[in-house]
Amino acid sequence: MAGGSCAMSMENPVFKAFVTYAVIVLVKTMAMSLMTAVTRFKNMSFANPEDSAGFKDKDGGKLKPVLNNPSVERVRRCHLNDLENVLPFVLIGLLYVATSPPLASALLHFRLFAGARLLHTVVYLVPVPQPARALTFFVGFATTLSMAYSAAAAVGFAV
Amino acid sequence: MAGGSCAMSMENPVFKAFVTYAVIVLVKTMAMSLMTAVTRFKNMSFANPEDSAGFKDKDGGKLKPVLNNPSVERVRRCHLNDLENVLPFVLIGLLYVATSPPLASALLHFRLFAGARLLHTVVYLVPVPQPARALTFFVGFATTLSMAYSAAAAVGFAV
Amino acid sequence: MAGGSCAMSMENPVFKAFVTYAVIVLVKTMAMSLMTAVTRFKNMSFANPEDSAGFKDKDGGKLKPVLNNPSVERVRRCHLNDLENVLPFVLIGLLYVATSPPLASALLHFRLFAGARLLHTVVYLVPVPQPARALTFFVGFATTLSMAYSAAAAVGFAV
């Protein structure tokens, strides 16, 4: 095995900070599941017949599944946007950490991304008028791309 | 580089067990793609015109794309639920493994999560009446959160 | 801590190649967000009221959100398919790299997957008639499964 010293270790301050920021953005993403559930109850809009089975509609009849409630769909779009952005950030972040970036530069990336994505969620759910959401999206997007470039460059674009 | 000894190694029994459980839940997630394809054929409900192009509808006409078949959409919701839960588990699990948790505790987390998610799929596809799905969901969710907290605490919530 | 020498290191040529290929497929996945945005503008089909707020419809009235534009939905299905396949590839790839596979075998897997998924996107967006998309999908799928089996076997299917 072609092994060597490891950046994914508790002695590496870059990795330790990455763990905290990755946990923050991943738990935030997971929290969207709870937000979706709460919004489904608030609007009595469930996707599956077995979910709505225990409830009555406003005419006293059996509640039917609802797939297009605007409030629920907004939370779900926000959740999907997190999957599209947060998961690539954590994956690219792991590779980036393994390439031993300078601590100050790494912290800047992690903080910018986490801040932008927390703000993105607030802006999406309020909702704040555009271009607020576009801006928070692009800060997170650019931060991840910068880490991706840095990691690929560090390995000399080995293919 | 600030390196050290590495937990992501073949000499670490926690990592070895993690590889197996991560593969189980990721392959299970990927299997939903095949399940979606099978369900699309069974219900002759394809999302793209180029997919339905080779088939006739029941009146002998050209088969049109169908985007709202309830059986297909159920499998797709189950798949999306896996993306929302399994991918964060594997990412947080990697970080958790890197923080060198005790083997017994790690195995408990991995087994609970894998068991809960396999059960979640069965319950979703049957479907078993609620609260079965909610319970399997929350066991997996809580297990991942517990690993996330443990990992972040192990690095001293370094930011 | 049960540590050892680490495969996720800059001295490991398998890891270095993995970084490049993982960055290629992840950045390609992220590029679908931009493609979605461009397609939304081209078709004036925005999902949120705050996104369409600044535009007029063809009758000069206020532009309403559109959730079912076929061109936009095609790009979004392609993006979701990437999330379903590229993210598991990178996660399983990390575990696979950690089990120290031979360089030639690893490169074959990485190249097949990256090539198949780049082709998948082209085939989906053109669109090229089936079975082109099915073929590119299954090459990527089989490559990931092969890596998953290899990684699980390397740890002796430890549970």
Between C4 and A46, residue with greater pLDDT: A46
Predicted pLDDT of residue B6: 80
Question: In this predicted structure, what is the pLDDT of residue C5?
Answer: 66
Please tell me if residue B155 touches chain C, with a CB cutoff of 8 Å. no
CA distances from A86 to B47, B91, B103, B156, C19 (A): 27, 11, 29, 22, 18
Query: Which residue of A lies nearest to B100 if distances are taken between CA atoms?
Result: A10
- Contact criterion met (CB < 8 Å) for B19 and C74: no
Query: Which residues make Cβ contacts (< 8 Å) with residue C8, sequence separation at least 6?
Result: A6, A7, A8, A98, B6, B8, C15, C94, C97, C98
Q: How far is A4 from chain C (nearest CA, A)?
A: 5
CB contact under 8 A, A129 and C50: yes
Average per-residue pLDDT for chain C: 94
| Cβ distance of B6 and A8 shorter than 8 Å | yes
Q: What is the pTM of this model?
A: 0.95
Q: Quote the percentage of chain C above a pLDDT of 70.
A: 97
Residues sharing a CB contact under 8 Å with residue C38, sequence separation 6 or more, in sequence order: none
* pLDDT the model gives residue A8: 87
Asked if the model's pLDDT at residue A59 lies above 90, the reply is: no
DSSP letter for each residue of chain C:
---B-BSSSTT-HHHHHHHHHHHHHHHHHHHHHHHHHHHHHHTT--SSHHHHTT-B-TTSSBPPP-S--HHHHHHHHHHHHHHHHHHHHHHHHHHHHHT---HHHHHHHHHHHHHHHHHHHHHHHTTPPTTHHHHHHHHHHHHHHHHHHHHHHHTTT--
3-state helix, strand, coil in chain A (%, to 5): 70, 5, 30
Contacts of C67 in chain B (CB under 8 A): none
Question: Which of A149, A146, B144, A4 has its CA nearest to residue C97?
Answer: A4
What pLDDT digit, counting tens, does each position of B78-101 carry?
999 999 999 999 999 999 999 999
Percent of the residues in chain C that have a pLDDT greater than 90, as a whole number:
86
| Cα(C116)–Cα(A35) distance, integer angstroms | 36
- Rounded distance, CA B109 to CA A71, Å? 34
The chain-wide mean pLDDT, for chain B, equals 94
Residue type, B32: M
List the 102-121 stretch of A: residues with Cβ below 8 A of B: 111
Least CB-CB distance to B20: which of C1, C77, C155?
C155
Q: Which residue has the tokens 């991706």?
A: A148
State pLDDT tens for residues C32-78: 999 999 999 999 999 999 999 888 888 888 899 999 999 999 999 99
**Region of residue C135 (left: phi > 0; alpha: psi -120 to 50; beta: else):** alpha
Partner-chain contact C7 B7, CB within 8 Å: no
Partner C, chain B 19-38, Cβ-Cβ below 8 Å: 19-23, 26-27, 29-30, 32-33
Residue A145 · residue A90 · CB < 8 Å: no
- What residues of C are in contact with residue B15 (Cβ under 8 Å)? 98, 155
Contact A139, A116 (CB under 8 A): yes
pLDDT digit string, tens, across residues B97-156 = 999 999 999 999 999 999 999 999 999 999 999 899 999 999 999 999 999 999 999 999
Chains B, C: CB contacts within 8 A come to 124
| Count of CB atoms situated within 10 Å of the CB of A60 | 6
Greater confidence, A34 or C54?
A34
Among residues C2, C8, C11, C9, which one has the least CA distance to residue C96? Answer: C8
Q: Tell whether the model's pLDDT for residue A32 goes beyond 60.
A: yes
By C-alpha distance, the chain A residue nearest B128 is A50
The pLDDT tens digits of the residues spanning C6-31 come to 888 888 999 999 999 999 999 999 99
Question: What residue in B sits closest to C145 (Cα-Cα)?
Answer: B27
Query: Cβ separation of B3 and A22 shorter than 8 Å?
Result: no
Q: Is the confidence at residue B4, as pLDDT, over 70?
A: no
Q: Which helix (H) or strand (E) segment is B111 a member of?
A: helix B103-125
Q: Is the pLDDT of residue A54 over 90?
A: no
- Chosen for mutation from A21, A25, A30, A35 (greatest number of chain B CBs closer than 10 Å) is A30
Chain C residue with minimum CA distance to A81: C33
For residue C129, give the amino acid letter: P
Q: How many CB pairs under 8 A join A and C?
A: 124
The answer on pLDDT for A5 being more than 70 is: no
Please list every residue in chain A whose beta carbon sits closer than 8 Å to the beta carbon of residue B8.
Answer: 6, 8
Q: What is the predicted pLDDT for the residue at C4?
A: 54
Complex ipTM? 0.94
Tell me the pLDDT band of A4, cut-offs 50, 70 and 90: low
Q: Is B77 touching A (CB cutoff 8 A)?
A: yes
Mean pLDDT on C120-140: 96
Q: What is the secondary structure of B20-66 as a DSSP string?
A: HHHHHHHHHHHHHHHHHHHHHHHTT--SSHHHHTT-B-TTSSBPPP-
User: What local confidence, expressed as pLDDT, does residue A2 receive?
Assistant: 43
Cα separation of C29 and A96, whole Å? 18
> Do residues B11 and C4 touch, judged by C-beta distance below 8 A?
yes
